[in-house]
């Protein structure tokens, strides 16, 4: 039997259910990837993300080649390409791991129908999450809308099922399955229509495993404190790897729990706090699966965040936010980190999102789209879930009246301004006293800091206290509901 393994957001060999199943059931295996041309052309994702994906594919192709398998690829409309490949290669079966984005579900349904009509067997597997939406439900089988309830059920399920990690197909086993198809080098980033960007986080399964090892050997045991400080390496920086499946979430949970038996200081609380974040990831995946309307608009309509049609003002504010020129250093550092690296620290993501929605009164979906285009971990479920959380329209969101004060957040989480100075170099010489609110510097202080406000660095685009009041006044009716 000849099987195609259709790789999508599972670009790894370890704990890869579709690949393992194909190697068990088929005498011949063809690993396959489709560059989704309509998606590439839509520019929903930006260069950072596409560069990262291409890097992961190079790593995958090389790991497969070590096992005698050749990654085949096509470029085009995925449904047509997979059906054509199955026909040309006379495949008996196609294997893939499930994806829960509405667009992907629709695509996979069509592929499955077309393959069934052609007499090709389809086998799909759970991979992107530890538990799929229907595996973690409320007492009456309802999808859960509260993270705390979801988390409790998730853990019960974990201990009931004790999920195991699958081994990589052995080299000798994989070699027996190889089909002699001509290898072809992957397209370059320019051929895909995107600019080259040196990936800020090393792509590929090998790097993902190395990064996970580094994290569970040390920083995870101070995660509760470290994760909030953008100037230090306090979080795992694994989100792009989870996004492209270069790391198995199940494997990551096991690695975190195993770290509790390491020699040296360990912290159970910190390890569990980190796993909580992986559970948030799954929570948002199940929200998307159960309530796909969230991609189009708010999860709940009981709170509508006030936003105004500013006309040219709105565009100016939005541009200042995108470029990191709002005059609020922590917001500007975050946006510039995103623009330069394709990644932004989680605490700062929350601050910039709150600022866009509640200080600039701009709709959260504009921010959501901007993040999708610039993040290398851009993921519909996580991005949408978090934006809705910040906009107070999501499942269990931040209350509508809670508004982050950017200067206070900055003082608390970047006390000496190290993070700000890294991404906003014009503030490099500003004193610790002034770094969070540089517009308050006296003329002499500006000379000393070699930074003239209004010339080298902007005045704040809005006054936070006034903007806050305006948001609350405009939103009063909604907040009271």
The residue ranges that bind ligand FAD (CB under 6 A) are: 227, 235-239, 242-243, 277-278, 280-281, 284, 346, 349-350, 353, 371, 375, 377-379, 382-383, 386-387, 390
Query: Is the CB of 3 or the CB of 219 nearer to ligand FAD?
Result: 219
User: Which runs of consecutive H residues, i.e. helices, occur in 291-379?
Assistant: 312-323, 329-341, 346-354, 364-374
Inter-residue contact 63 to 169 (CB < 8 Å): no
Tokens 């067997």 found at = 121
Query: Is the CB of 73 or the CB of 154 nearer to ligand FAD?
Result: 154
From residue 241, give the alpha-carbon distance in Å to each of 55, 210, 236, 291: 11, 11, 10, 25
Q: Which DSSP state fits 458?
A: P
Closest CA to 40 of 78, 5, 13, 67: 78
Least distance to ligand FAD, CB of residue 376, Å: 9
Least distance to ligand FAD, CB of residue 445, Å: 33
For 94, the enclosing helix (H) or strand (E) is strand 93-97
Query: Is the CB of 194 or the CB of 387 nearer to ligand FAD?
Result: 387
Least distance to ligand FAD, CB of residue 275, Å: 9
Q: Which DSSP state fits 234?
A: -
Residues composing the chain: 481
Q: Which DSSP state fits 185?
A: P
377 φ/ψ angles, rounded to the nearest 5 degrees: -100, 15
Inter-residue contact 65 to 31 (CB < 8 Å): no
Cβ-based neighbours of 229, under 8 Å, separated by 6 or more: 347, 413, 414
Query: Is the CB of 320 or the CB of 353 nearer to ligand FAD?
Result: 353
Least distance to ligand FAD, CB of residue 263, Å: 23
Least distance to ligand FAD, CB of residue 281, Å: 4
Least distance to ligand FAD, CB of residue 242, Å: 4
């Amino acid at each position: 039997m000849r099987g195609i393994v259709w790789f999508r957001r599972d670009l790894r060999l370890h704990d890869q259910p579709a690949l393992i199943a194909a190697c068990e059931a088929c005498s011949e295996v063809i690993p396959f990837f489709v560059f989704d041309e309509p998606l590439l052309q839509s520019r929903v994702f930006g260069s950072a993300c596409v560069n990262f994906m291409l890097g992961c594919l190079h790593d995958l192709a090389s790991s497969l080649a070590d096992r005698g398998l050749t990654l085949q690829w096509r470029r085009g409309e995925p449904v047509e390409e997979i059906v054509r490949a199955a026909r040309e290669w006379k495949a008996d079966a196609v294997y893939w791991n499930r994806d829960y984005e509405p667009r992907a579900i629709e695509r996979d349904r069509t592929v499955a129908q077309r393959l069934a009509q052609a007499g090709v067997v389809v086998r799909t597997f759970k991979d992107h999450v530890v538990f799929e939406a229907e595996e973690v439900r409320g007492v009456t089988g309802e999808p859960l809308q509260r993270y705390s309830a979801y988390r409790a059920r998730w853990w019960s399920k974990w201990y009931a099922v004790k999920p195991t990690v699958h081994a990589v197909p052995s080299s000798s086993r994989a070699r027996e399955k190889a089909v002699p198809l001509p290898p072809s080098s992957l397209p370059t980033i320019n051929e895909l229509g995107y600019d080259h960007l040196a990936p800020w986080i090393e792509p590929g399964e090998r790097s993902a495993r190395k990064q996970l090892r580094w994290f569970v050997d040390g920083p995870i045991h101070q995660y509760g404190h470290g994760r909030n400080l953008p100037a230090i390496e306090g979080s795992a920086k694994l989100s792009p790897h989870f996004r492209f499946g270069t790391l198995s979430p199940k494997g990551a949970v096991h690695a975190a729990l195993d770290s509790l038996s390491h020699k040296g200081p360990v912290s159970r609380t910190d390890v569990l706090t980190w796993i909580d974040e992986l559970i948030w990831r799954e929570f948002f995946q199940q929200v998307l699966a159960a309530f796909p309307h969230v991609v189009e608009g708010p999860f709940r309509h009981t709170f509508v965040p006030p936003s105004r049609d500013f006309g040219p003002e709105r565009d100016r504010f939005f541009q200042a936010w995108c470029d990191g020129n709002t005059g609020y250093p922590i917001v500007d550092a975050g946006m510039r980190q995103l623009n330069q690296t394709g990644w932004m620290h989680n605490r700062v993501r929350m601050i910039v999102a709150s600022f866009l929605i509640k200080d600039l009164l701009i709709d959260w979906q504009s921010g959501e789209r901007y993040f999708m285009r610039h993040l290398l971990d851009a993921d519909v479920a996580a991005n949408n879930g978090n934006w809705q959380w910040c906009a107070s329209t999501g499942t269990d969101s931040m209350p509508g009246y809670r508004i982050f004060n950017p200067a206070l957040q900055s003082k608390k989480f970047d006390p000496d301004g190290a993070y700000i100075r890294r991404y906003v170099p014009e503030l490099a010489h500003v004193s610790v006293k002034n770094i969070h609110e540089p517009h308050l510097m006296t003329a002499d202080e500006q000379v000393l800091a070699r930074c003239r406000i209004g010339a080298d660095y902007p005045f704040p685009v809005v006054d936070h206290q006034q903007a806050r009041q305006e948001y609350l006044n405009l939103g009063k009716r909604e907040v009271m509901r």
